[in-house]
């Protein structure tokens, strides 16, 4: 049966296609900005993107009547219901948040970019402070427009994590954090996973590393005619269309695990988009459903598959062939280098055991900031206090502390938890796929079955079901941290 048979939905989808074409264009412009655009092109690009966004807003609002009619139809398919749900969310956003506020926010974000960079370079929070005060005030206002009846954090959280609330997150972190502490303390005491490894300081040759990445893409079976890999300052992945996904990586000459695991991470994001049902192309549900589910796919491939003993075994010969310094290291030493565990003050350097502490701490901090119990000038001190509580040491300066992440300067509040949700869902996948004997993978020949399972169960529906419902359909329950705890315990405390 065709996914779309209701005539009102068919009509709605025809009217949605120009919006889909705009998303296609904006995504391509966004990708080009990071990869090809000459620096001086930034101002014109900003204006063009803002105009496209206004057009999208107008065209979405024009669909309001049709969406309302379509919603009253009986016997809609799941995909049809999904389309209405997603369009209603878009409509509500544009109806509730005044265009002036969006414009003001965009302006504040643009003006904050350079001061944030400068503040971080000089490690002087006061350079960034007035900009962050402005952005925070506007985000509080935005939350108020979206839903005045709830904590401002909930209103903003719903934008990236549909249906999720602070009480869900309190419960998830409340269960997860003490367990992680227990595993971390024991792992460090046992000492099998080193805090520091000599391979961290070895320089690699960039062309050789590029060769390694090409071979890893082929080991992972990435469809070479449906995606491409480029180099950018911050690695990312973006969907242009169902058969055109772009990923990026970066090469710094030290610590060769960074470009490898960055690449596998982005492949996880790409695979999700590439396996969404093609029948959903150019519809509102033709893409990943939420940041958390997206991050679960990237983390699953990066950590659970990529950092496993079996995958290290599979990739070791490839690494050894291109990176000559590895002739001094056995496969086992490479495995422990890849999985070293070190409480670090910097989120992006964190390992599997400490990463979620960084997120839990940012979550608590953002809740207080948006709720108004603390204000921007107090941030650096509160940040350092919280870090000390988690890691037992204080940042030496604000570049190592409150200025390390770019998210707030981009106006992204309540988006950090998506990273931990991704880890939690990846842990649930580990449990389920181990039971189904699809994990651990023993060799390249096991990868197609794994991808196929992910396609059939998680990827194909795109955004048809809201995240919690998708999880319930796949796992029989919503976000549940015990899978991640079991996985980490099994990996770090049962070393043989």
- CA distances for 21 relative to 27, 146, 272, 283, angstroms: 10, 27, 21, 10
User: Phi/psi at 405 (nearest 5 deg)?
Assistant: -100, 145
Cβ closest to Mg ion, residue 132 vs residue 463: 463
Cβ closest to Mg ion, residue 154 vs residue 356: 356
Cβ closest to Mg ion, residue 298 vs residue 464: 298
List residues near Mg ion by CB under 5 A. 298
Cβ closest to Mg ion, residue 158 vs residue 295: 295
- The answer to whether 13 and 66 are in contact (CB under 8 A) is no
Cα 483 from Cα 473, distance rounded (Å): 16
Cβ closest to Mg ion, residue 299 vs residue 367: 299
Residue of minimal CB distance from Mg ion? 298
- 266 catalytic, yes or no? yes
Cβ closest to Mg ion, residue 298 vs residue 308: 298
> Is there a cis peptide before residue 216, judged by omega within 30 degrees of 0?
no
- For the CB of residue 30, give the shortest distance to Mg ion in the complex, in Å: 15
- For the CB of residue 269, give the shortest distance to Mg ion in the complex, in Å: 6
Q: Exactly one of 161, 162, 266, 480 is catalytic; name it.
A: 266
- CA distances for 420 relative to 264, 363, 415, angstroms: 18, 10, 10
- For the CB of residue 236, give the shortest distance to Mg ion in the complex, in Å: 8
Cα 355 from Cα 347, distance rounded (Å): 6
Q: Which residues are registered as beta bridge partners of 248? A: 230
- For the CB of residue 437, give the shortest distance to Mg ion in the complex, in Å: 28
- CA distances for 360 relative to 4, 78, 294, 330, 421, angstroms: 41, 35, 19, 36, 11
Give the distance, in angstroms, between the CA of residue 387 and the centroid of all CA atoms in the same chain. 23
Q: Any residues with CB less than 8 A from the CB of 213 and at least 6 apart, and which?
A: 229, 249, 259, 260, 263
Cα 446 from Cα 457, distance rounded (Å): 17
- For the CB of residue 426, give the shortest distance to Mg ion in the complex, in Å: 12
- For the CB of residue 279, give the shortest distance to Mg ion in the complex, in Å: 26
Q: Select from 448, 446, 453, 450 the least CA-distant residue to 474.
A: 453
Known catalytic residues are 266
């Amino acid at each position: 049966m065709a996914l779309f048979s209701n005539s009102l939905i068919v009509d709605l989808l025809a009217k949605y296609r120009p919006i889909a074409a705009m998303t296609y264009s904006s995504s391509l412009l966004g990708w080009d900005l990071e990869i090809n655009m000459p620096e001086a092109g930034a101002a014109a690009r900003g204006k063009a993107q803002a105009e496209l966004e206004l057009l999208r807003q107008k065209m979405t609002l024009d669909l309001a009547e049709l969406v309302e009619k379509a919603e009253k139809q009986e016997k809609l398919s799941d995909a049809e219901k999904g389309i209405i749900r997603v369009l209603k969310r878009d409509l509500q956003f544009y109806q509730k948040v005044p265009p002036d506020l969006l414009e003001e926010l965009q302006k504040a974000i643009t003006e904050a970019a350079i001061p944030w960079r400068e503040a971080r370079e000089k490690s002087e929070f006061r350079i960034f402070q007035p900009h962050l005060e402005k952005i925070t005030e506007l985000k509080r206002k935005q939350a108020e427009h979206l839903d005045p009846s709830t904590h401002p954090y909930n209103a903003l959280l719903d934008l990236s994590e549909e249906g999720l609330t602070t009480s869900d997150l309190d419960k998830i972190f409340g269960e997860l954090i003490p367990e992680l502490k227990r595993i971390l303390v024991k792992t460090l005491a046992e000492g099998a996973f080193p805090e520091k490894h000599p391979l961290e300081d070895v320089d690699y040759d960039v062309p050789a590393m590029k060769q390694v990445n090409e071979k890893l893409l082929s080991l992972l079976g990435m469809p070479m005619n449906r995606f491409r890999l480029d180099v950018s300052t911050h690695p990312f992945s973006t969907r242009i269309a169902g058969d055109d996904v772009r990923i990026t990586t970066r090469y710094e000459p030290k610590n060769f695990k960074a470009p490898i695991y960055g690449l596998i991470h982005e492949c996880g994001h790409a695979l999700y988009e590439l396996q969404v049902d093609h029948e959903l192309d150019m519809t509102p549900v033709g893409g990943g459903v939420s940041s958390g589910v997206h991050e679960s796919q990237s983390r699953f491939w990066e950590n659970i598959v990529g950092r496993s003993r079996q995958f290290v075994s599979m990739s070791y010969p490839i690494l050894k062939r291109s990176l000559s310094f590895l002739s001094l290291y056995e496969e086992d030493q490479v495995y422990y280098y890849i999985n070293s565990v070190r409480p670090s003050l910097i989120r992006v350097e964190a390992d599997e055991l400490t990463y979620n502490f960084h997120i839990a701490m940012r979550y608590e901090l953002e809740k207080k900031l948006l709720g108004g119990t603390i204000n921007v000038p107090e941030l650096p001190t509160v940040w350092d206090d919280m870090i000390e509580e988690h890691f037992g040491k204080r940042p030496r300066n604000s570049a190592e502390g409150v200025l390390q992440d770019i998210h707030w300067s981009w106006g992204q509040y309540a988006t950090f938890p998506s990273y931990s949700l991704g880890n939690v869902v990846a842990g649930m996948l580990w449990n389920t796929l181990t039971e189904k004997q699809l994990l651990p993978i023993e060799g390249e020949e096991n990868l197609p079955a794994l991808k196929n399972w992910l396609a059939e169960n998680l990827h194909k529906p795109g955004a048809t079901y809201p995240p919690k419902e998708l999880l319930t359909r796949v796992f029989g329950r919503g976000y549940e941290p015990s899978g991640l705890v079991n996985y980490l315990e099994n990996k770090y405390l049962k070393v043989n």
